[in-house]
Amino acid sequence: MKITEVRACQPATPGSPPDWRTSLGQILVAVETDAGLTGYGVGGGGAAGIHVVRTVLRDLLLGRDPSAVERIWEEMYRATLPFGRKGIALMALSGVDLALWDLRGKAANEPVARLLGGEVGQPIPTYATVWGSIEPAITAGHRAVKLHLEKYDPRTNLNALVDYVADARRQIGDEGMLMVDAFMKWDVDSTLDVAARLVEHDVAWLEEPLLPDDLPGYADLADRCPIPIAGGEHEFTAAAFEEIIKQRLHAVLQPDVCWCGGLTELIKIYRMAAVAGLRVCPHRGAEIWSLHAIAALDSQPLAESGRSWMSWVGGQPPIIDGWVQLSEAPGLGVIVDEDSCK
């Protein structure tokens, strides 16, 4: 089997946020073969990511055997290294890598989760990420909720922040799992101030309080913060996660498979984390792209709710009463309406 074409486009996403998540949003990558099979993946970077796929990665892949996924990843990484390593180039590469994994599963006529040593069909618990009221999440049956706190500045509005979290705890009850996300807006001192107030509300983790590159700050929090720190959503490649894992900067690692380098890198991160005894909870894990790794590699599976505006991705298992499960569909199980790119 040989690769005959590599295509990329950015389908329209009505209802997506009016910010970089649309302008530099998710791109569809299709890898066609002479065997009549097409693999699909999702990366990021909008028009810039599409340009990387069309002008660099496509030429590298044409005529290649797509089964050598890991070797192709290394070649794609080296080809984009002068302008890549992190950011848009890795987001684009991620989409290609996922398409190759989709092809690998389709060629074997097996779900990717099974190729990774796991199974499909088992229910996987999910959590809902919310930006305001948690009532819709509770109504939908979620037993775990993560609150976005970026609109609360703890240096000027700490009491309102604590009240919001306390109210959420009351609504989900003592048995529900509750997490909070600062979206890189705080510093070490404000994070410790928040954590001291939230301990009594049994917060499972405090996500991304600092900038991703503030490794000394995260080391300080790892030693002093009474609430476990989660992060990694905005980090790229297993090599970067290796340092985070080595220093144990995060108790919960959150790579995004559509950004960090694809499934090839997510697998490496899972394996390193298992050796270190750290938890992996992929960003947007209930989306089909990460779900196969969660089903096969995760000893504490928990999948984050996905993006409602990604309506052009078909084959996505629905979340029902807080649970999601993969089907027997080969590959990643994705069904794509390519007309959405026209």
Residues 110-132: tens digit of each pLDDT: 999 999 999 999 999 999 999 99
pLDDT classification of 56: cutoffs 50, 70, 90: very high
**% residues pLDDT > 70 (the chain):** 99
Q: What value does the mean pLDDT take over residues 6-29?
A: 92
Domain ranges for the chain: 3-109, 115-326
Q: How many CB atoms neighbour CB 168 within 10 A?
A: 22
Q: What value does the mean pLDDT take over residues 228-253?
A: 98
Q: How is 242-311 classified by DSSP, letter by letter? A: HHHHHHT--SEE---TTTTT-HHHHHHHHHHHHHHT-EE--TTTTSHHHHHHHHHH-SS--EE---TT-T
Q: Identify the active-site residue in 142, 234, 250, 283.
A: 283
Q: Return mean pLDDT, the chain.
A: 96
CATH 3.30.390.10 fits 3-109, yes or no: yes
Whole-Å CA distances, 69 to 64, 76, 135, 314, 342: 10, 10, 43, 24, 29
The dihedral built from the CA positions of residue 318, 206, 203 and 168, taken in this order, carries a sign that is: negative
Contact assessment for residue 295 and residue 270, using Cβ atoms and an 8 Å cutoff: no
Whole-Å CA distances, 8 to 128, 161, 217, 240, 311: 30, 42, 38, 27, 17
Report the DSSP beta bridge partners of residue 111: 331
pLDDT at 342: 57
Highest mean pLDDT among 22-26, 116-120, 337-341: 116-120
CATH (one of 3.20.20.120, 1.10.760.10, 3.30.70.1450, 3.40.640.10) for 115-326:
3.20.20.120
Residues 123-156: tens digit of each pLDDT: 999 999 999 999 999 988 998 999 999 899 999 9
Q: What value does the mean pLDDT take over residues 161-167?
A: 97
> For the ranges 137-141, 217-221, 230-234, 245-249, which has the lowest average pLDDT?
137-141
Residue 283 is among the residues annotated as catalytic for this protein: yes
pLDDT at 69: 98
pLDDT classification of 338: cutoffs 50, 70, 90: confident
Residues 240-251: tens digit of each pLDDT: 999 999 999 999
Q: Report how far residue 292's alpha carbon sits from residue 117's, in angstroms, rounded to the nearest whole number.
A: 10
Q: Is the pLDDT of residue 339 over 80?
A: no
pTM above 0.85, yes or no: yes
In three-state secondary structure terms, 235 is coil
pLDDT at 158: 97
